[in-house]
Amino acid sequence: MIRHVAIIGAGLIGASWAALFLSKGLRVTVSDPSRQALDGLPAFITTAWHDLAQLDEIAAAPPFEMLHVTQDIAMACAEADLVQECGPDRIAIKQQIVAQIETTLGPDAIIASSTSSLMASDIQTGARHPGRILVAHPMNPPHLVPLVELVAGRATDPACIAAARAFYDRIDRVTVVVRQERVGHLANRLTSALYREAVSLVAEGVATVEDVDRAIAHGPGMRWAFMGPHLTYHLGGGAGGYRHYLDHLGPTQVARWADQTTPVLTPELIETLVAGIEEATEGQSPADLARRRDVALVALAKLKRDLGA
């Protein structure tokens, strides 16, 4: 039974995991070489707690007695049942972190990396116990977005995937097991496919940054919180379902794919994208926008729960 989680890296993702794990009654030890990152945790967790309290029956205030922080990675892992690795997304650093973790971590404990794009096979290279290392990738912010993608590396023990899945399910995450190691796993490949087109449309002058984002948030995004693209097009086929959709409109999808291009991320294009988002957000700070996003995510999570969707 996993009762004590060590989190390595107290940045955006590590801090959010910490709030979630505490809200699920787990003991949490967070390690980061940056004292500043560790010092910022209580404020982040207090804000996150307010959101989590709307979704779960939890104590009025975060149980900070269940939270420990240290700059010493090895010390953080000595009593952990699972390590949620949230360090910088560089393979050399991940491997170095694993080596430090393994100096104290018990042999039955799991090492789950939050990596967005690295492979478990590379992270476990050189490890003492590679079989207990996997990718458990969340979406930002993990305390409010329930998806966790589990990916095995070449050496990962299938029992480790099963144990990790049981753990994340127990804490009310929605898990998917990705069957092959691919850059960006599953969800981020989908978002990258969309983002490529979002950038292309701006680069080619088809629409502004603001209108591209508006088109998603008020159009397909309305459906995507409840159903993926396959089910969406199943309904797009009316009574004939997915088969009719593909017979009728499949060729128009093929024509759209053929018309799409991969943009070159030049310095000029970066300037255009940044200027576009500055215009669209009109001086609102990233912190203000993240707060608005989290208020909306809480409301959406409640709605999905009420609808069983």
Ligand X SMILES: NC(=O)c1ccc[n+]([C@@H]2O[C@H](COP(=O)([O-])OP(=O)(O)OC[C@H]3O[C@@H](n4cnc5c(N)ncnc54)[C@H](O)[C@@H]3O)[C@@H](O)[C@H]2O)c1
Residue partners of 269: CB distance under 8 A and separation at least 6: 199, 202, 203, 263
Q: Which residue is nearest to ligand X (CB)?
A: 11
Q: How near is the Cβ of 242 to ligand X at its closest, in Å?
A: 31
Nearer to ligand X, 9 or 153 (CB): 9
> Distance of CA 160 to CAs 46, 94, 110, 126, 237, Å?
32, 19, 7, 18, 40
Judged by beta carbon, residue 34 or residue 266, the one nearer ligand X is: 34
In the bound complex, what is the minimum distance in angstroms from residue 52's beta carbon to ligand X? 18
- Beta-bridge partner residues of 110: 82
| Distance set, CA 247 to CA 142, 220, 241, 253, 254 (Å) | 39, 21, 10, 11, 12
Residues that bind ligand X (CB under 6 A): 8-14, 32-34, 37, 86-89, 93, 97, 114-116, 137-138, 140
Measured from the CB atom, the residue of 44 and 49 that comes closer to ligand X is: 44
Residue nearer to ligand X on the CB measure, 203 or 290 = 290
In whole angstroms, the minimum distance from the beta carbon of 194 to ligand X comes to 16
DSSP strands (E only) in the chain? 4-8, 27-31, 67-70, 82-85, 110-113, 133-138, 147-152, 174-178
DSSP 97-149: HHHHHTTTS-TT-EEEE--SS--HHHHTTT-SSGGGEEEEEE-SSTTT--EEE
Task: Name the residue nearer to ligand X (CB basis): 17 or 49.
Answer: 17
CA distance 112 to 118: 12
Indicate the pairing of strand 27-31 with strand 4-8.
parallel
Q: How far apart are CA 143 and CA 138, in angstroms?
A: 9
Q: How far is the CB of 304 from ligand X (least distance, A)?
A: 20
Nearer to ligand X among residue 18 and residue 160 (C-beta): 18
- For residue 148, the minimal CB distance to ligand X (Å) is 10
Q: Least separation, in Å, of the C-beta of 40 and ligand X?
A: 9
**Please, what is the minimum distance in Å from the beta carbon of residue 10 to ligand X?**
5
Cα–Cα distance measured from residue 251 to residue 83, given in angstroms and rounded to the nearest whole number: 47
Distance CA 283, CA 300 (A): 26
CA-to-CA distance for 208 and 191, rounded, in angstroms?
19
For ligand X, the closer CB: 114 or 245: 114
Work out how close the CB of 190 gets to ligand X at its nearest, in angstroms, rounded to a whole number.
14
Of 188 and 232, CB closest to ligand X: 188
